[in-house]
Structures are given as C-alpha cells and as structure tokens.
C-alpha cells in the first residue's frame, strides 16, 4: 500500500465506524423511542381509565351525600360500596410502574402526579372517612324529650374525631400538590376537589367540635345559662340584623329549657356607654356601647356578644355563660325538620312562610308591644318543637350545616378555653386577622331607621385582577342593591324613622373590608366617584359608603381592593346574611408565577 493510499483507507475506516455508531445510535433511539411511545400509550390508556373511574366516583360521591342527608342509610351503604370500587380502580390505574416513570418526565410529570393525588384522596375518603361517618349514630347530636343524651354524645365523639382527622389529613395532602404548572383541566379538577374537601372539613370540624363541646355547654359539669338573641334582618346590621327579641336558655345535665324572654328595646340606653374597642369606636363612635340595637355594627361577633352580655347583666343582674344568635331564615331551615308549629293565638309558622311572617307581615298588623310578644312566642314555639318533637336527625343536621355555612348561627362562649376551641370557624363569627385566601368583606348596616332590609336584593361580584410588581394583587368588587319595596302602603312600623328623607327609600351603609394586610383604593357609585368613610379593624382597611335605594330602584357600588403580598389567583367573599340570599360570583385568575 502506497503512502498516498493509507490516508484514504483511514478515512474510509473512520467513516465506517461513524456510520456504525450512527446506526447503533439510531437503533438505540428507535428502541428508546418505541419504549417511550409504548409507555406513553400505556399511560394514556391508564389515564383514560383513571379519568373514567374518577368521573364515576364523583357522581357516586354526590349521590352518597344526598342519601346521607336524606337519611336513606340502605342506599347509602350500596352507593359507598360502588364508590370504593371506582375510587380503588382509579388509584390502581395511577400507581403502576409506567405511571411512576411518567411522573418523573419534565413535561407531563406534574399532571400525572396531580391525578394520582386526586385518586388517592378520593380513595382515602371512601375507605376511611365515609364508612365511619355512615356508622356513626348522628341521632346522638339531636335532642329527644327535651334532653340530649350526654353519654351517647361522648361515645360518638371518638368516631367523629376519627373522621375529622382523616379528612384533615387528606386536605393537607391535596394542599401540598403544586397547581401552578398543571394543564387547565387537571388544575380545575384539583381546585374543585379542594373546595369540596374544604366544605367537608368544615362539616367534620363543626361535628367534632360539637360532640366535644356540647356536654360541658349543656351542663355536664354544672348548670349553664345562655342568651338566645334573634337577629332582625328587616333592620340590617353587619352580623345579620339588629338584636331584637331575646330568651334565656338554661341547661343542666343535657336537659334544656327556655326561661325569661324579652326585647332589647327594654334595655333602654346606656349612659355612660360601655367601653368599645378603639378601632370600632373610630368607625362607629360610641354607638355600639350605648344602644343595644347597635352592638353588632362591626362584623366581629365576639365584640357584639360581649357588649350585649354586659348590657343584659347591668339590666337584670344575671351573668350568662355565652350568647347564641340566630335569624328567621334559620327558623325556616329548622321548620323543615320539625314541620309547622303553632304560636299561641293560632298563628302557624311554616318553613316556606316564616321569614315573610316575622319580617314583614307582623310589622303590618301588630303594634310594637305585640310584635315583641309575637317574636318571643315564635321563638319559644320553634324551640319547643326542636327539643320535644321527634325530628329527622339527618334533615336537622343538614339545616344546621346550611345555617352555619351562611353564618346565620353564631355562638360566643364567655369561657376563654371553650371560645378558643371554636377558633376562626364560621360559627364563631370571628373576623380573622390573617387570610389563607384573600377575603373581601361586604357588610351592611341600616342607616334609615326602618325595617326595609326585607325588601333588599343584594348581589356581589369579585374579580381577581392584575399581579403588581410589589407582590400584591388588585381585586375588583361590584356590589348592587335592588329594592323591591312598594311605593306606598307600608305601615309606620316598617317605615320607621325614614332617615333617608323619602320613607320608602332604604339607606344602607355598605362597609367594604379589605383582605388582611390589604387596602381599599377607590369606589364609584353608579359610575361616579363617591366619598368613603375609612378606618381599620383587625388588620383590614374599612371603607364605608352610604347608598340610598328607592322603591324599585337599583344602585351599583364598584370598589377596587388591594391584597397583601400573595401569588394565589383565588379570592373569597364574606357577606352580611340577609333575608333574601345574596347572588354572588367570584372570578379567579392564574397565580402570579404562571
């Protein structure tokens, strides 16, 4: 071989080696690609299976909820068995080796992991929480013959605690799943499941707390006395309505009876007034400490309860152990379980008509003294039916759940260790100083001295807006108030003081509470910039606008609100409970780091 041929042969061998390496690389890539495609296809098939099972499980869970509420235990057990089968199949479809491999891929990994966590959550609830809940004798939470069986209630407490712990564990696991990089369908499924489990957690929290707290609250360790106050939604206050009629409730060893009844009007005025927290005094002057009807101008129920308890003590010499507030809408829910009741004098109270009867009809046909007597007699009649009738426990518990969710049942204990147990729950009515999700409060106080709140139809729309460079988010709030009041024909009791000028015009003080650590930026009433009263309460900026709504008219208040530093795209509303439910909508947005 000549010298000139050697380089040519070396290049030829080099080309052959490169071609061989390329063939091996291509073959390897083909094998790996085929494996990935096969795995991806298998994951896709398993994903399709998981989706089908999860959809079936969701439908079964809704059926189970309806059957539990309806007291259909036999069908509920069959539905639970089917739910466990579907949830278990969904879990199995997301735990095989190919799925585990897919969870570590850079593109689809987060989505596959999230689907797996959703499947695990539903399966855990189906196998751990729901069976115990179905076995639990919930009738222990319902009085019979005027008494609650405290021994049975104590026995049930351990089971409810087990359910509560299971739900909370699932809730924590789902909260740890990062949602920012998920595809929209899976992110929405995760968001929906979190919302459902949050609701379930609130129920199990209330049941767990109730089972543990009811024995001491109902006199297991000695007699107790409470004030039951009715919030009159015809004259709005931030927590619901003006504290009107009251009744003393006495409890000992599980037996409950109603004692003295009366009206807040009988207290008169307090001069000098009671001491009011500085932040509330800056917003409402000394009114909450002077007038019993104004103790709840603030939405923070513990403040109102403490003031009312002290007013009652000064007027009667009796110190109570706590304050329980309800409204006529609560009575309408309870009457679904008890059936209609008769008030002395032959007036029937039925679920469908009790709100109209108490908040409108009574003012049209009775004078002030007769109204107070009628309200007290109505409360006593429903109370007796609740404690003495044989009621459907499932329907009754559903009524309590709805009322607590809507913040229509509020309770404050004068014993700090008991009050701490309630924490920031809805039933405690505590305005929290920190938010897990930015929460905007819209609270209504009557400013016309009338009973026109019955005719108001409120709506609220909250939209999560832009992410700002400083880490905060803008929220856009639109509140509308529409009046269905007639232009004539209302009694003097309804029209009251007529402080808005026209006695048929409802003047409402609308207070907007920013999220904790946030601010209220600006407000426009019917498109025109409007003046706002301002202050702070419990780390929230408060802005108040006076809104006059004539009969048949509608006014719109638009407010821009700022959160504290947050990346989340969700927000929540906290609203004054009204005679007609609010129409609400919250528009979320992607998180700021998406």
Q: What's 16-79 look like in SS3?
A: HHHHHHHHHHHHHHHHHHHHHHHHHHHHHHHHHHHHHHHHHHHHHHHHHHHHHHHCCHHHHHHH
Is the model's pLDDT at 26 over the cut of 90? no
What is the arithmetic mean of pLDDT over 326-333?
93
Lowest-confidence pick of 126-130, 405-409, 529-533 = 126-130
pLDDT band at 35 (very low <50, low <70, confident <90, very high): very low
pLDDT at 70: 58
pLDDT band at 105 (very low <50, low <70, confident <90, very high): low
pLDDT at 98: 60
Residues present in the chain in total: 594
pLDDT at 391: 75
pLDDT band at 162 (very low <50, low <70, confident <90, very high): confident
The most confident of 33-47, 359-373, 500-514, by mean pLDDT: 500-514
pLDDT at 208: 77
pLDDT band at 103 (very low <50, low <70, confident <90, very high): low
What average pLDDT does the structure give for the chain?
Answer: 83
pLDDT digits (tens, 9 = 90+) for 146-160: 777 888 777 777 787
Is the model's pLDDT at 329 over the cut of 90? yes
Cα–Cα distance, 77 to 83 (Å, whole number): 10
Lowest-confidence pick of 155-159, 290-294, 501-505, 578-582 = 155-159
pLDDT band at 172 (very low <50, low <70, confident <90, very high): confident
Q: Classify residue 265 by burial, with Cβ atoms within 10 Å: 0-12, 13-18, 19+.
A: middle
pLDDT at 29: 32
Is the model's pLDDT at 25 over the cut of 70? no
pLDDT band at 183 (very low <50, low <70, confident <90, very high): low
pLDDT band at 480 (very low <50, low <70, confident <90, very high): very high
Is the model's pLDDT at 557 over the cut of 50? yes
What is the arithmetic mean of pLDDT over 294-322?
97
Is the model's pLDDT at 69 over the cut of 70? no
pTM: 0.80
pLDDT band at 594 (very low <50, low <70, confident <90, very high): low
Lowest-confidence pick of 39-48, 179-188, 311-320, 332-341 = 39-48
pLDDT band at 284 (very low <50, low <70, confident <90, very high): very high
Q: Say yes or no: domain 433-587 is CATH 1.20.120.
A: no
What is the arithmetic mean of pLDDT over 112-121?
78
Output the DSSP codes for 236-292. Answer: EETTEEEEEEEEEEEEETTEEEEEEEEEGGGG---SSPPP--HHHHHHHTTHHHH-G
Is the model's pLDDT at 345 over the cut of 60? yes
Lowest-confidence pick of 13-27, 73-87, 467-481 = 13-27
Lowest-confidence pick of 63-77, 354-368, 569-583 = 63-77
- Per the structure block, which two tokens stand in for 316? 């009667």
Percent of the chain with pLDDT strictly greater than 90: 47
pLDDT digits (tens, 9 = 90+) for 442-478: 999 999 999 999 999 999 999 999 899 999 999 999 9
- Find tokens 């009204």 and name the residue: 578
- For 553: left if phi > 0, alpha if psi spans -120 to 50, otherwise beta; the answer is beta
Contact 454, 241 (CB under 8 A): no
pLDDT at 87: 81
Is the model's pLDDT at 582 over the cut of 90? yes
Pairing of strands 347-349, 341-343: antiparallel
pLDDT at 37: 32
Is the model's pLDDT at 17 over the cut of 70? no
Cα–Cα distance, 414 to 324 (Å, whole number): 11
pLDDT digits (tens, 9 = 90+) for 203-252: 677 677 777 778 888 888 899 999 999 999 999 999 999 998 899 999 99
Is the model's pLDDT at 43 over the cut of 50? no
pLDDT at 257: 87
pLDDT band at 506 (very low <50, low <70, confident <90, very high): very high
Tell me whether the omega of the peptide bond preceding residue 15 falls within 30 degrees of 0, making it cis: no
């Amino acid at each position: 071989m000549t010298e000139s041929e050697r380089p040519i042969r070396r290049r030829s061998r080099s080309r052959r080696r490169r071609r061989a390496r390329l063939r091996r690389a291509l073959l390897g890539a083909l094998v790996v690609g085929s494996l990935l495609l096969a795995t991806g296809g298998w994951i896709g098939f398993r994903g399709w299976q998981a989706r089908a099972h999860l959809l079936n499980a969701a439908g079964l869970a809704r059926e189970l909820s309806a059957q539990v509420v309806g007291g259909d235990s036999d069908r509920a057990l069959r539905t639970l068995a089917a739910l466990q089968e579907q949830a278990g199949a969904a879990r199995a479809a997301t735990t095989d080796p190919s799925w585990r491999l897919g969870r570590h891929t850079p593109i689809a990994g987060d989505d596959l992991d999230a689907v797996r966590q959703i499947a695990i959550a539903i399966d855990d609830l189906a196998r751990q929480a729901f069976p115990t809940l179905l076995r639990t004798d919930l009738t222990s939470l319902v009085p019979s013959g005027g008494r609650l069986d405290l021994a049975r209630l104590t026995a049930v407490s351990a089971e409810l605690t087990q359910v509560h712990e299971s739900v909370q564990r699932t809730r924590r696991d789902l909260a740890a799943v990062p949602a920012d990089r998920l595809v929209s369908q899976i992110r929405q499924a995760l968001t929906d499941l979190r919302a459902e489990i949050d609701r379930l957690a609130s129920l199990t929290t209330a049941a767990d707390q109730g089972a543990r707290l009811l024995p001491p609250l109902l006199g297991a360790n000695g007699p107790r006395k409470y004030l039951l106050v009715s919030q009159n939604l015809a004259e709005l206050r931030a927590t619901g309505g003006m504290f009107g009629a009251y009744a003393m409730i006495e409890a000992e060893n599980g037996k409950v009876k109603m004692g003295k009844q009366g009206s807040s009007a009988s207290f008169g005025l307090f001069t000098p007034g009671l001491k009011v927290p500085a932040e509330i005094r800056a917003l409402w002057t000394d009114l909450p400490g002077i007038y019993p009807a104004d103790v709840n101008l603030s939405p923070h129920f513990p403040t109102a309860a403490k003031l009312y308890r002290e007013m009652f003590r000064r007027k009667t010499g009796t110190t109570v152990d706590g304050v329980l507030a309800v409204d006529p809408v609560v009575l309408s829910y309870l009457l679904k379980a008890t059936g209609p009741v008769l008030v002395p004098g032959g007036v029937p109270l039925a679920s469908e008509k009790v709100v109209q009867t108490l908040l409108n009809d009574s003012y049209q046909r009775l004078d002030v003294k007769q109204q107070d007597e009628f309200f007290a007699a109505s409360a006593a009649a429903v109370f007796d039916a609740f404690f003495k009738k044989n009621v459907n426990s499932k329907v009754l518990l559903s009524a309590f759940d709805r009322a607590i969710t809507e913040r229509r049942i509020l309770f404050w204990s004068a014993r700090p260790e008991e009050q701490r147990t309630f924490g920031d729950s809805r039933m405690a009515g505590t305005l929290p100083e920190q938010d897990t999700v930015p929460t905007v409060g819209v609270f209504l106080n009557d400013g016309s001295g009338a009973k026109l709140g019955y005719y108001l139809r409120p709506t609220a729309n909250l939209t999560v807006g832009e992410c700002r460079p400083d880490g905060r988010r803008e929220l856009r709030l639109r509140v509308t108030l529409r009046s269905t009041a007639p232009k004539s024909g209302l009694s003097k009791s309804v029209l009251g003081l007529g402080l808005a000028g026209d006695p048929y015009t409802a003047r409402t003080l609308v207070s907007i509470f920013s999220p904790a650590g946030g601010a209220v930026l600006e407000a426009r009433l019917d498109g025109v910039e409007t003046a706002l009263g301002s202050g702070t309460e419990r780390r929230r900026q408060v802005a108040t606008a006076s809104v006059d709504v004539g009969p048949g008219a509608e006014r719109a208040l638009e407010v821009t609100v700022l959160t504290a530093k947050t990346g989340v795209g969700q927000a929540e509303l906290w609203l004054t409970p009204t005679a007609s439910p609010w129409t609400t909508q919250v528009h979320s947005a992607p998180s700021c780091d998406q």
